Amino acid sequence: MAEELAGKVVVITGGGQGIGAATASALSRLGAQVVIGDLDQVRAEKTAGELGAEALPLDVTDIRGFTGFLDEVERRHGRIDVLINNAGIMPLGDLDTESDATTRRQLEINLHAVIHGTREAVRRMRPRRSGHIVNVASFAGKAGFPGAATYCATKHAVVGLSEAVHLELHGSGVHVSCVMPGIVRTELASGLAEAKMFKSVRPEDVADAIVSALRKPRFDVFVPRSLGTMGKLTRLLPRRAGEAFARALKADRLLASAAHSPARAAYEARAAESGPGVTRTDQ
């Protein structure tokens, strides 16, 4: 039976723009009570105002602040039905040229914040035997892509985290979904070319997939769905054959070739400013 989303209290991190804003829009149209958490309060309030949603300041790397943010949502609305861990950054470049600060930023934003948000959601939802946690990972959580080694590492970890918590919550009434999109045309994908065989998708496409998973809970959410099939097929191949296939599709250069693209300069500058206490970028 499909879940009714009208009246559900939904929290979205990094909801001021991109996938987060598109998801907030889709859920607001369905009657959900959406709360956007974002450090850029001006952008978040503008987005929320357009949707009839609510915006509260949130730096996901401030763990106490993150907890306080969720406490405030519960104070205002009585509960949290859905938490969507969406905030994330993707700086590009070879690992040997990546600074330790850049590595730490990705670990704090892409992974530690998701772990903390997931843990807090479980603590609040399991006693009620109801709720849904959505972790936005990436297809990069299923494969390694040159030029984004640390990003891939964080997204692999988010997939593993989500799988483990999904099993921990079996029979509890709390659902977990892991969203794994390919290239999504947000600022995060600035400068990236189109991939062979798999066209990029819009933030609205990811939002629609999230809504579908909330209505009829499922764990694996690939966007487009064909990515899931492709992943299963390539895992059946011997490693050499799989890598040759990736090279034939130029998937091995997709991220690395965009690392120093002028079209990406503004995004990379914003990602470089993000980090503990100053998160400024979302998916």
Would residue 177 be called left, alpha or beta, if left means φ above 0 and alpha means ψ between -120 and 50 degrees?
beta
Average pLDDT over residues 126-140: 97
The pLDDT of residue 245 is 60
The pLDDT of residue 281 is 44
pLDDT of 150 > 50? The answer is yes
CA 85, CA 236: separation in Å to the nearest integer? Answer: 31
Evaluate whether 184 touches 19 at the Cβ level (below 8 Å): yes
pLDDT band with cut points at 50, 70 and 90 for residue 28: very high
pLDDT digits (tens, 9 = 90+) for 37-55: 998 889 999 999 999 999 9
The pLDDT of residue 124 is 98
Cβ neighbours for 256, distance < 8 A, ≥ 6 positions apart: 92, 94, 145, 146, 147, 148
pLDDT band with cut points at 50, 70 and 90 for residue 278: very low
pLDDT band with cut points at 50, 70 and 90 for residue 283: low
pLDDT band with cut points at 50, 70 and 90 for residue 250: low
Q: Which residue has the higher pLDDT, 277 or 256?
A: 256
pLDDT band with cut points at 50, 70 and 90 for residue 215: very high
Picking from 13, 61, 74, the residue whose alpha carbon sits closest to that of residue 24 is 13
pLDDT digits (tens, 9 = 90+) for 51-73: 999 999 999 999 999 999 999 99
pLDDT digits (tens, 9 = 90+) for 176-214: 999 999 989 887 877 777 777 678 899 999 999 999 999
pLDDT digits (tens, 9 = 90+) for 104-116: 999 999 999 999 9
CA 191, CA 262: separation in Å to the nearest integer? Answer: 7
- Tokens read off for 208: 């629609």
Whose tokens are 């609040």? That residue is: 124
What are the residue numbers of the active site?
A: 151
Average pLDDT over residues 240-262: 71
CA 236, CA 73: separation in Å to the nearest integer? Answer: 45
Backbone angles phi, psi at 184, to 5 degrees: -110, 130
Q: Cis bond leading into 217, ω under 30°?
A: no
Lowest-pLDDT range of 3-7, 47-51, 201-205, 217-221 = 3-7
Evaluate whether 185 touches 202 at the Cβ level (below 8 Å): yes
Q: What percent of the chain has pLDDT over 90?
A: 70
Residue type, 127: P
Q: Which residue has the higher pLDDT, 243 or 128?
A: 128
pLDDT band with cut points at 50, 70 and 90 for residue 242: low
pLDDT band with cut points at 50, 70 and 90 for residue 276: very low
Q: For 34-55, b where at least 16 C-beta lie within 10 A, e where not — what string?
A: bbbbbbbeebbbebbeebebbb
- Tokens read off for 138: 């990436």
Average pLDDT over residues 221-230: 88
The pLDDT of residue 79 is 98
The pLDDT of residue 277 is 43
pLDDT band with cut points at 50, 70 and 90 for residue 248: low
Radius of gyration over alpha carbons of the chain, in Å? 18
pLDDT band with cut points at 50, 70 and 90 for residue 279: very low
CA triple 205-209-211, angle to 5 deg: 115
